[in-house]
Chain A
Amino acid sequence: MSAGSPAAREELNELLIRAGRGDQQAFAALYQRTSSKLFGVCLRMLRERGEAEEVLQETYIAVWRRAASFDDGKASAITWLVTLARNKAIDRLRQHREEQLDPLQLEETADGQPTPAADAETSQEHQRLQRCLDALEPRQRSAVREAFFTGATYNELAARCRIPLGTMKSWIRRSLLQLRTCLEQ
């Protein structure tokens, strides 16, 4: 699925709206079209298949229950779905993993820089965001990406990058403000 194409996005919006009206077939089709993407997001954050499956399940249960509140004037369906999945995954991380991090894993992830998708078929929104991210200082950019993809707290990020907590906070905050300015241009 080329989720980036405007037509594909429009179709997902339509499916989510129909699910919001109680259309089970639309909901099943929405799951078929989007579950691989959301599972990828959950897996990347939780890094454990069983947990990612549970969070994916919670996510779609919430999708069905809250679909009626989806407003395509405010967000696209895929943004709405990704947000819901990330929030569920972050909640899970905070529940189970706060303060129990394996130092060995931290070192591994500090080295492993997230790589941009080889696939150039990303959305226009992504390309715009990517240009703004490229303008950030490299270490700050990788901290922002690490935060987004892993759902790590400030404390965890600071430990992974071996820098003081205060420095990590100012890196992230400065980056966020810079991104906002850049995206509003």
Chain B
Amino acid sequence: MNTPADHRDDDLRHAEYVLGVLDAAARAAVEREIRDDPQAAAAVAAWQRRLAPLADEVEASTPAPYVWARIHDALQLAAPAAPRPRPSLWNNLHLWRWLGLGASVVAAASVVVMLVQPHRAAVPTTTRAGYMAAAIEQDNGVTGWTATMDLQHARMIVVPATPVAFAPGRTPQLWLIPPGEKPISLGVIARDRPTSIALRADLLARLDTRALLAVSVEPSGGSPTGQPTGPVVAKGAIGGA
């Protein structure tokens, strides 16, 4: 039987749940209660109405455009896809994501080359592999970017996989580290869309499976010294095709 004191304690527990101070087990217990007991659900809803207005104080922050792209994908919504201007094919993260994650990056690069080079029918005669790829991973093993190198066209495309946090005024910069050599800058890369990089002949010559790609934290505009000045946040070995 519920006494007024029990009732008061129950309501406090609901308030604590809404405020967010309960640990995981206590939260789960309240959530079960909400499912099973309409009175508990109503009490929790009342506390949500009381406390949620505090969120008015939180400063709004615009999420990166790929967040919507992921939601759109996950829910398999029909077109019109984005509440924003449609990006070009090359800059379409949605496409890169779809191509790059899951299927092999190399296969993805081939498809893209077919898409962007529809008239080039000649089979490459080069004996070198046509494509190379690298997963540029953070220390926790999560891939921050994937890089695909199209050797024939001397281009690299670097696609953000999982967003990496950067402080304001800091930017990711990509480096090629051939074995036994100093890092060579490949330039500043974007965190929220693919970056396309033209590969000079000297860079192309150094792309092999013993070389590493690394991303360091640099001031906006890139390292002032030509060498990494901030911590390396992600790195990965280059793989052949």
Majority secondary structure, A binding face: helix
User: Any chain B CB within 8 A of the CB of A57?
Assistant: yes
Judged by a CB distance under 8 angstroms, whether B91 is at the interface is: no
B37 contacts A by Cβ under 8 Å: no
Main secondary structure of the interface of B (DSSP, over half): helix
A52 to B11, CA, bound (A): 30
Complex Cα–Cα for A166 and B194 (A): 51
Interface size, B (range)? 35 or more
Residues in chain B near residue A4, CB distance under 8 A? 56
The answer to whether B62 and A151 touch across the interface, beta carbons within 8 angstroms, is no
CA distance in complex: A44, B61 (Å): 10
Residue pair A125, B53 in contact (C-beta under 8 Å)? yes
In the complex, A160 has a CB within 8 A of chain B? no
- A137 within 8 Å of B by Cβ? no
Pairwise interchain contact A147-B21, C-beta atoms closer than 8 A: yes
A83 sits at the interface (CB 8 A): yes
Task: For A31, give its contact among B16, B71, B162, B164 (CB under 8 Å).
Answer: B71
Given contacts A57-B67, A61-B74, A82-B55, contact A36 B60 (CB under 8 A): yes
Contacts known (A31-B68, A57-B70, A153-B23); A49 close to B163, Cβ less than 8 A = yes
Give chain A's interface residues, CB within 8 Å of chain B: 3-4, 24-25, 27-29, 31-32, 35-37, 39-41, 43-44, 48-50, 52-53, 56-57, 60-61, 64, 74-75, 78-79, 82-83, 86, 90-91, 94-95, 98, 114, 116-117, 122-123, 125-126, 128-129, 144-145, 147-149, 151-155, 157, 172-173, 176-177, 179-180, 183
The chain B residues found within 8 Å of chain A, CB to CB, are 8, 11-12, 15-16, 18-24, 27, 45, 48-64, 67-68, 70-71, 74-75, 77-78, 80, 83, 162-166
